[in-house]
Amino acid sequence: MFSLVTCKTAAHAEDSLSGDAPPSNRQSFNEFVEEWNPFCSKMYWEDGIRVDSPQKNIRIKVGGRLQVDGGYVGADDSLEDAFPGLIGGQGGIRRLRVSLLAKFYDRVDFKIEADFSDVPTLTDAYLDIERIPFVGHFRFGHTKEPFSLEELTSSNNITFMERSLPTAAFAPGRNIGMELYNTAFNQRLTWTAGGFWDVGSLTRGTNPKDALSNATGFNLTARLTGLPWYAENGRKLVHIGFGYSHKLRTDHQIEFVTRPESNLVNSDLVDTGKFAADDVDLIDYELAFVHGPFSLQGEFYQDFTSESQNHYFWGYYLHLSYILTGETRPYDTSEGIFTRLKPRNDFNPLKRQWGWGAWELALRHSYVDLNDGSVDGGKENNFTAGLNWYLNSNVRLMFNYIHARVENRASPELEDGYANIVQSRFQIFF
């Protein structure tokens, strides 16, 4: 970790070291400047570039992430006929993000993050006010709605390269809104509730005011999680959660769509297309179990839409993982999500007793059904195998094999087809 003290009057302070105000007890120049100069700040590296004010009442962190994907997509004749150009090698930058986080007097947090992998897009831009008496914490801005364990877990920390079929299809994602959140019972319970304008992504040139005026609906979303079992600082736990979102559609239409758990595929293999809907009710049930290096995680989604004709869609995923090197998936009790895995021994072949980092094996089954009544968006059934190599807490290599089977889609017409996808990712973040 490097450290640098910067001051507007550093030169004057340095002169005073040998003159008017010598440091007591032979203090270092940095220590002396911090004590005597109110304009001093300390810059250092700790999982990102950090800048602290002298009293540490203002703290800033600059971070980022880079994810580069590559792989090959194969498919049978039925799927290739329905989606021409599907087969072949693919690759590119999945995410390229830069973020700035600031904390003021341990009461106010600010975050802004943008993605430059394709069209410049504002991902996060919000303000947090913490520890409000009798309320908890308040957040306002462009942020993820409080729905789904997998969706709320950062893409840096999810077990597979992409989130599961039903999560991508149903979870609301990021929108502009406000929410209250807090914990209870020594962080064994978390709750979040808020209201959001359905604006989607904010790309370059999008004015937030225009985005609000063009919102396609308004969502009321809430999430509740609990830890009925939590032992050995998280090496053993059971997580349960419940999410609910009521979507009021001002444009009187909705669409559910998902790719086959691969961003290398440009086609949405199941897609309802836009259809009439005034209200949508989303329900999500979460379950996770951790016992040392073994973990299990799953969610079940239900979607109810209402208009002249009601529709019901649903889906689920279940995945297992085992960390061969003995680490445990870290869990954040303040948010009810999984966080960054830190290997016991970083990969470093230059040391005499060098470690191999952390290795993880994972399997997932996911399913989504987007057929009901007059809507025939298709059904998809995926099996995914994954291997993750954590070189250290900031660098990871990922390998996924996906077998995706699609059935009963009306447009393009597809009775039954399958794809085999082999993909890998290099990821670095701080």
Name the E strands within 160-233.
174-184, 189-197, 202-203, 217-231
> Is it the case that residue 10 has pLDDT exceeding 50?
no
DSSP reduced 3-state for 11:
helix
Side chain identity at 103, as an amino acid letter?
A: K
pLDDT at residue 28, rounded to an integer: 57
The answer to which of 181-190, 284-293, 344-353 has the lowest mean pLDDT is 344-353
Tokens standing for 131?
A: 């520890």
What distance in Å separates the CA atoms of residue 199 and residue 174, rounded to the nearest whole number?
8
What distance in Å separates the CA atoms of residue 34 and residue 209, rounded to the nearest whole number?
42
Prior bond of 412 cis (ω within 30°): yes
Please state the rounded mean pLDDT for residues 159-170.
Answer: 98
Measuring CA to CA, which residue among 263, 269, 365, 258 is closest to residue 75? 269
> Is it the case that residue 281 has pLDDT exceeding 70?
yes
Say how many C-beta atoms besides its own lie within 10 A of residue 244's C-beta: 16
What distance in Å separates the CA atoms of residue 202 and residue 105, rounded to the nearest whole number?
29
The pLDDT tens digits of the residues spanning 304-333 come to 998 878 999 999 999 999 999 999 999 999
Burial of 392 (0-12, 13-18, 19+ CB in 10 A): middle
Sequence-distant (≥ 6) Cβ neighbours of residue 84 within 8 angstroms: none
The answer to which of 30-39, 79-88, 152-161, 264-273 has the lowest mean pLDDT is 30-39
Domains of the chain by start residue, with CATH = 1-45 (no CATH), 46-429 (2.40.160.10)
Tokens standing for 329?
A: 């998936």
Contact assessment for residue 143 and residue 344, using Cβ atoms and an 8 Å cutoff: no
Quick one: pLDDT band at residue 349, thresholds 50, 70, 90?
confident
Q: How far is CA 323 from CA 35, 104, 238, 359, 389, in A?
A: 47, 38, 18, 6, 10
Q: How far is CA 383 from CA 28, 168, 242, 323, in A?
A: 59, 16, 25, 20
Tokens standing for 295?
A: 């973990």
Please, which residues bridge with residue 293 across strands?
Answer: none
DSSP reduced 3-state for 80:
helix
The pLDDT tens digits of the residues spanning 193-214 come to 999 999 988 887 777 777 888 8
Please state the rounded mean pLDDT for residues 109-131.
Answer: 95
Quick one: pLDDT band at residue 34, thresholds 50, 70, 90?
low
pLDDT at residue 5, rounded to an integer: 61
Contact assessment for residue 223 and residue 192, using Cβ atoms and an 8 Å cutoff: yes
pLDDT at residue 9, rounded to an integer: 45
What distance in Å separates the CA atoms of residue 71 and residue 88, rounded to the nearest whole number?
9
Distance of CA 168 to the CA centre of its chain: 12
Its sign, for the CA torsion 265, 266, 269, 274, is positive
Measuring CA to CA, which residue among 273, 259, 264 is closest to residue 85? 264
Burial of 298 (0-12, 13-18, 19+ CB in 10 A): buried
Sequence-distant (≥ 6) Cβ neighbours of residue 25 within 8 angstroms: none
The pLDDT tens digits of the residues spanning 73-118 come to 999 999 999 999 999 999 999 999 999 999 999 999 999 999 999 8
Sequence-distant (≥ 6) Cβ neighbours of residue 137 within 8 angstroms: 128, 129, 130, 131, 180, 181, 182
Please, which residues bridge with residue 237 across strands?
Answer: 230, 290
Sequence-distant (≥ 6) Cβ neighbours of residue 213 within 8 angstroms: none
